[in-house]
Amino acid sequence: MTDELVHRALRHESLRNVENLHLGDVVLSSPANFAARPLTPIALSSCHINLKYASFKQVQPFLQQNVSSLRIIHLEIGYFKDDADVIWFLEYLPANLQQLELVLAATLARSQPLLSEYETIHRPPLASESFSRFSNLRKLTLIGHFLEPRLLEVLSVGSPQLNQLNLFESRWVAPGSSNTTRSATYISGILDPSRAITLLSRLHHVKEVCLGFLPTIGVGRYASLELEMERKGIELDWDVCGDGRYCPFCGEIHS
């Protein structure tokens, strides 16, 4: 299904009263001229868009001119070029959004990282402050992103109604990241368990949390976090990093 076909359909009178839109596997027929296309006139309440080979900016023509009625958006794209793309997209969305899902279809963060990879930052993290305006957010899903611990602090203050946080296959990095090599103390300080407990405890309505990949190869470091979330009745899920000494061919640990 091409974007030209989609845009013609969205402007047909028979679709003017549609409230829920789901676009799957849309292919851009003319990416260079895509941004010049007008926005859809439909006042949607929920929108699911799958553009695996596009960026955040190329999603704009599928969104409505007036986004005030939008409450749910699920977006699966291939990549974003820079932080400005993401910041622009999040600022375009209404502040009273209730469900936000941003899935990166192709990214380094979606494969299991080695613990040693945390010493080298691959890219800047997602801009945490951009989420501070969503005070009515109930569900946030960020799959395959690079995140900084500041995100939990922003959500604990700005989104008190949040009940589900899904950061599946996302990776945590420290603020002020660069392409320089960091020490082991840098890794251990990325997401401190006690700090995570404090911030998650401020989300009084949260029931489900997936923290993605945490910078450890064992479950021991975050045992206190797991125990506290269990005590509070919060379902917690997370993944460990791989060990660079592990050989996938023979199954042994090499020094």
Report the Cα 202 to chain-centroid distance in Å: 20
pLDDT at residue 252 in the model: 44
The stretch 177-206 carries a mean pLDDT of 76
Distances, alpha carbon 240 to alpha carbons 78, 95, 168, 216, in Å: 25, 34, 12, 6
pLDDT at residue 117 in the model: 67
Q: Which of 79-88, 192-201, 241-250 is the least confident region? A: 241-250
CA–CA dist 53, 28 (Å, integer): 8
- Mean pLDDT (the chain) is 80
pLDDT at residue 33 in the model: 52
Sign (positive or negative) of CA dihedral 92, 94, 95, 101: negative
Distances, alpha carbon 206 to alpha carbons 40, 71, 244, in Å: 34, 19, 35
Highest mean pLDDT among 21-25, 69-73, 251-255: 69-73
Res. 35: pLDDT tops 80 = no
Which residue has better confidence, 29 or 137? 137
CA–CA dist 214, 87 (Å, integer): 25
Distances, alpha carbon 70 to alpha carbons 54, 81, 141, 173, 199, in Å: 22, 25, 17, 31, 28
Given a contact cutoff of 8 angstroms between Cβ atoms, the answer to whether 214 and 187 are in contact is: no
Which residue has better confidence, 151 or 43? 151
pLDDT at residue 19 in the model: 84
Residues making up the chain, counted from first to last: 255
Which residue has better confidence, 135 or 32? 135
pLDDT at residue 255 in the model: 43
Distances, alpha carbon 237 to alpha carbons 193, 207, 210, in Å: 14, 11, 5
pLDDT > 70: what percent of the chain? 76
pLDDT at residue 175 in the model: 64
pLDDT at residue 181 in the model: 46
Q: E strands of 66-138, at which residues? A: 72-77, 99-104
